[in-house]
Amino acid sequence: MSIVLNNSQLVTQNFIKKERNLEEKIILLVEDNPDDVTLTERALKKSHILNTLIVARDGVEALDYLFGTGSWAGRDMSNMPEIVLLDLKLPKIDGLEVLQRIRANAQTKLLPVVILTSSKEEKDLINGYSMGANSYIRKPVNFNQFVDAVRQLGLYWLVLNAPPPGVSRKTDG
């Protein structure tokens, strides 16, 4: 069985293989819809993005993970996510509040946060950027478009993007 890749897919695979270091880069997916979680997992796998995926199903769980509290108390706080994929419509604490708390904390304020949502409301877009989102992506309805969006996200944020000077996702604790 042979797999035919277009040039873009081949370049992406080569970058991901070449740039992968020994320290696993974590992706934090904050998403309450189980179907969207499954879709994201499938899109990551199909795009050959094999990073550890931590799923938080509500805003409280996301903040617990990021700050090492609640059910995540005692986790290794030196290993922060490389990127946070954040839905807006979440139970307990909504995505914009999660974003606001991320930006208010010295340890997390520079973490890349990509809003990944189905919301088409202009106020969500404006509020997301105003509160410090690095990117705002509307989830495509078509699976192939979603896979392509996830592949591009992975290539940019996990391989090509350089964190701000003096900031490392692997912190001293």
**Domains of the chain, first to last:** 24-160 (3.40.50.2300)
Give residue 47's pLDDT: 86
pTM: 0.82
DSSP conformation letters of 100-118: HHHHHSTTTTTS-EEEEE-
Q: What is the CA radius of gyration of the chain?
A: 16
Spatial contact of 77 and 46, defined as CB atoms under 8 Å apart:
no
Give residue 91's pLDDT: 95
Q: Using one digit for the tens of pLDDT, what is the confidence trace for 68-108?
A: 999 999 999 888 999 999 999 999 999 999 999 999 999 99
- Residue 85: CB atoms within 10 A of its CB come to 25
Q: DSSP H helical segments within the chain, as ranges?
A: 7-19, 34-46, 59-67, 95-104, 122-130, 143-154
Helix or strand holding residue 173 (H, E): none
